[in-house]
Structure 1
Amino acid sequence: MIKKLQKKFIMITMASVFFIILLLIGTINIINIYQMNHRIDGALKILSQNEGTFPKYDKGKPPRENMEFGFQLNEETPFETRYFIVKLNSDGSTREIDTSHIRAVSSSDAREYAEEILESGKTGGFAEIYKYAVVAQDYGYMVIFIDCRNSIQSVTGFLFISSVVALGIILLMFILVSVFSKKAITPIIESMDKQKQFITDAGHEIKTPLAIISANADVLELTGGESEWINSIRNQITRLDKLVKNLLILSKMDEGNMKVSYVEFDISRTVEETVASFKAVAETLNKTFLLDIQEGLKLYGDESSIQQLVSTLVDNALKYSDSNGIIKVSLITYKKGSKLEVFNTTDMGKEALSKEYLSKLFDRFYRADASRSRDTGGYGIGLSIARSIVEAHHGKISARREEETGICFEVILG
């Protein structure tokens, strides 16, 4: 239980850290990419407005209108920017090619790039490592290409470095959380240990007065004869004794001290034998009891625990089924294991069968219908034991509403 709680704490903490770091790194890189595009778009805009050249101005005094976020025009901009320009007439013939500001592209290469762009019909975008803009002119078109090689390398380099740093931080956080997680949940562990110890001690202490009350009831019956009061005392003793036993079982399961023997056994035979006694009870209560058990199914687990699981679910179905109701127990192959389903009709309202309430059925001492639980002798602890048994077998248990007036408990094992 403690290891489970510790793992859950680590998982939640690491998921939170991962999400925050992912959000942070993602935001920073998106802003970085945006700034890169904005700088290039700023240069394309200046070149578009000035016939493919950068404007000249007094040294050290760039025009104020070009002081934009992410792009600032200065005296070094014409020398830092690698670009080439192709001017085309309206008929598609080449008017002028300027590759004096770049070494990697020849005039023929520039013409090919421009012709491909015009054929595509696009007015802007990327052509390999070059970002371009098509500007309509009186004579035809001017296509401006800017070399984004350095910007792309800078962005990808920053993305790689930030990702490596993020992974390093996540790994370091995982180590630190793993080391200090036990200290973080120490107060919870201490509280749980005290609770378990209290249940164990109280359970053993209650056994003694129960035994004395039972003996006194026997004496009263011998001296005064049988009466409804003595029968009532015995019924309450039985209920309390069952409650104490269930509490001790849960306590042992939580502590991991439950002695179980995992072997391969015939779960089909086990289920059939376990429900046999309930079938007779159902018939006396005028309830329909149906069985649909696939033969020969095997399970690697603790047979006595599975018997208790089946008994708990079927007993629960009998208690909460309506008058002349239907109880159905089925066992079939499911993937690599088995699926056990216990269905019963019920007269509980739709509210008691809603998803919100069904999800609480496995909580300790929870009862969807408290008045009926008192009548049937339930304490809302049986389904908690059922869940603990299923979890000990690495299975899953759930409850769902079936049609309008039915509830079905589904157990997947193996």
Structure 2
Amino acid sequence: MSEKLRLRFIGIASLCVFIVLFLFLVCINVWNYSNMTHNADRTLNAISANNGIFPKIHKDKPKGEFIPEKRLEFSPEEPFSTRYFSVTLNGEQEQIAINMNSIASVSLGEANDMTNSVMEKGKDRGFYGSYRYHKTEVEEGTLLVFLDCTKDLFFTNNFLLNSIYVGGAGFLAVCFLIVLLSKAAVRPVAESYEKQKTFITNAGHELKTPLSIIDANREVIEMENGESQWTQSIKHQVERLTRLTNQLTTLAKMEESPEKKFLENIDLSNIINDVCDEMEAFAQGQGKTIVSSVSPNVMINGNEDQLRQLLYILLDNGVKHSKENSVIEVTLANNGKLTIRNQAYLEQTGNMNILLERFYRMDSSRSRQTGGYGLGLSIANAIVEQHKGKISIMALKDDTLELTITLR
């Protein structure tokens, strides 16, 4: 159990670290890309506002002279380091002017192809390869400005790859520390759980002796004075406590010994038919009926004693906690999927796996009447887990409680 708890702690902690790290890397890379496009658009807006030419930069603003703010946003070196070209089109989308003085990597034919492709897209802004473009309407018609963002995209992509490498290395390092420190982290919980199981086992064994003595004294009193309501009450309470201690001891032993019992290839269909036949008389005594639909020759690898105990628990629970004059349906599919349905007193619908918890009872008053303690389904769950299977309980709309078990 402690190893299972440790593995669960490692998985949850690693998942949390991965989610936080992933969101952080996504946010920082989105911010970096947005910052790059923002700077490119700022330059394109300035060029478009200056009729396709990079505006002149003034180091010092002359007194009394108005200079547009866009000219003051750039350093004096940017006109020389910015690679761009602009194309002017008339109303018929025919090229009437082109400025390629600030770029050498694009030929005139390539510029025409890029212009035609961008005009077909119909977007005012975007990327064409490694070029960011901006389309604006001017007096002559349409002005297209293309800005070379090759270096910016290279640095952005390089930053993305480096952040992935660093993030991956950081994630592996944190996972290593989580694995290294996980034993110390779960040790207090594991020790508390082990002490709890040991206490339950020891208490169960210690209670058997006084219960046997009480029952023996009751028998002596009955032999001397005859039966009375008091001796019968003592007998009833001793039986309840004996049943409770046996269930607690059984559950604790199953959890203390995670190793499987001897497993063999067995016919699950025959086991279910036998248990249903044996429980039929008990169900009829309660005014209820067990109806089974079992596929023949369903073979699984398991322990026959445990599987019989599992079926007795499930059918006993289904009979005791179902409505009067109802039917308990038992179905076994060819793939080994076992389904048990019964009409129950339900106050809600949906997932009811909480019934697998120890001492949980939907209706305490009815459980007292039937002598239940809320341990039967916990034992059934432990048996299913030892067989590496899955168990689920669903409350359906028509007051039907459906219990499904899948055994491998």
The TM-score with structure 2 as length reference comes to: 0.93
2:403 counterpart (394, 400, 409): 409
More off after superposition, 122-131 vs 360-369: 122-131
Could you say which residue in structure 2 is the equivalent of 1:80? 81
Could you say which residue in structure 2 is the equivalent of 1:231? 232
* Structure 1 residue 216 displacement after superposition: 1.7
Contiguous gaps of at least 5 residues in structure 1: none
Could you say which residue in structure 2 is the equivalent of 1:341? 339
Could you say which residue in structure 2 is the equivalent of 1:354? 349
Could you say which residue in structure 2 is the equivalent of 1:368? 362
Could you say which residue in structure 1 is the equivalent of 2:273? 272
Which structure has more relative contact order (CA 8 Å, sep 6+)? It is 2
More off after superposition, 217-226 vs 3-12: 217-226
Number of residue pairs the alignment of both structures matches:
404
Paired AA for residue 75 in structure 2:
N
* Structure 1 residue 194 displacement after superposition: 1.4
Q: What SS is found at the alignment partner of 1:333?
A: coil
Could you say which residue in structure 2 is the equivalent of 1:166? 167
Could you say which residue in structure 2 is the equivalent of 1:325? 326
Distance 1:292 1:392, change over 3 A: same
* Structure 1 residue 106 displacement after superposition: 1.0
Distance 1:138 1:339, change over 3 A: same
* Structure 1 residue 199 displacement after superposition: 0.6
- Residues 87, 145 of structure 2: 8 Å contact kept: yes
Q: What SS is found at the alignment partner of 2:361?
A: coil
Distance 1:94 1:407, change over 3 A: closer
Instruction: Find the aligned partners of 1:44 and 1:248 in 2 and give their Cα distance.
Output: 78
Distance 1:245 1:67, change over 3 A: farther
Q: What SS is found at the alignment partner of 1:52?
A: coil
- Residues 364, 380 of structure 1: 8 Å contact kept: yes
Could you say which residue in structure 2 is the equivalent of 1:36? 36
Residue deviations 1:360-400 (CA, integer Å, cap 9, x gap): 21110111111111111101111111111111112111112
Residue deviations 1:184-209 (CA, integer Å, cap 9, x gap): 11111121121111111111110111
Instruction: Find the aligned partners of 1:74 and 1:390 in 2 and give their Cα distance.
Output: 73
Residue deviations 1:207-260 (CA, integer Å, cap 9, x gap): 111121222223223333344433332332222122111111211222225761
2:388 counterpart (365, 389, 394): 394
Instruction: Find the aligned partners of 1:298 and 1:328 in 2 and give their Cα distance.
Output: 21
* Structure 1 residue 310 displacement after superposition: 0.7
* Structure 1 residue 44 displacement after superposition: 0.4
Instruction: Find the aligned partners of 1:270 and 1:119 in 2 and give their Cα distance.
Output: 73
Residue deviations 1:158-185 (CA, integer Å, cap 9, x gap): 0110011111111111110011011011
Could you say which residue in structure 1 is the equivalent of 2:70? 66
Instruction: Find the aligned partners of 1:202 and 1:9 in 2 and give their Cα distance.
Output: 30
User: What does residue range 7-406 of structure 1 map to in structure 2 within 5 Å?
Assistant: 7-59=7-59, 65-66=69-70, 72-256=73-257, 260-334=261-335, 338-346=336-344, 348=345, 350-351=346-347, 353-355=348-350, 358-406=352-400
Instruction: Find the aligned partners of 1:355 and 1:263 in 2 and give their Cα distance.
Output: 35
Instruction: Find the aligned partners of 2:6 and 2:163 in 1 and give their Cα distance.
Output: 30
The alignment yields a C-alpha RMSD, in angstroms, of: 2.0
Instruction: Find the aligned partners of 1:301 and 1:130 in 2 and give their Cα distance.
Output: 66
- Residues 61, 74 of structure 1: 8 Å contact kept: no
Distance 1:230 1:124, change over 3 A: same
Q: What SS is found at the alignment partner of 1:101?
A: coil
Instruction: Find the aligned partners of 1:331 and 1:94 in 2 and give their Cα distance.
Output: 77
Instruction: Find the aligned partners of 1:67 and 1:355 in 2 and give their Cα distance.
Output: 66
Instruction: Find the aligned partners of 1:286 and 1:91 in 2 and give their Cα distance.
Output: 91
Paired AA for residue 354 in structure 1:
T
Residue deviations 1:258-315 (CA, integer Å, cap 9, x gap): 7611111001111111222210111233212211111100111111111111111100
More off after superposition, 250-259 vs 276-285: 250-259
Q: What SS is found at the alignment partner of 2:98?
A: strand
* Structure 1 residue 48 displacement after superposition: 0.4
- Residues 60, 75 of structure 1: 8 Å contact kept: no
Instruction: Find the aligned partners of 1:48 and 1:402 in 2 and give their Cα distance.
Output: 66
Contiguous gaps of at least 5 residues in structure 2: none
The TM-score with structure 1 as length reference comes to: 0.92
Distance 1:409 1:148, change over 3 A: same
Paired AA for residue 318 in structure 2:
A
Distance 1:321 1:118, change over 3 A: closer
Instruction: Find the aligned partners of 1:260 and 1:67 in 2 and give their Cα distance.
Output: 83
Instruction: Find the aligned partners of 2:332 and 2:208 in 1 and give their Cα distance.
Output: 37
* Structure 1 residue 139 displacement after superposition: 2.0
Q: What SS is found at the alignment partner of 2:262?
A: coil
Instruction: Find the aligned partners of 1:378 and 1:95 in 2 and give their Cα distance.
Output: 92
- Residues 390, 396 of structure 1: 8 Å contact kept: yes
- Residues 359, 399 of structure 1: 8 Å contact kept: yes
Residue deviations 1:110-150 (CA, integer Å, cap 9, x gap): 12221232233332211111111122222222211111111
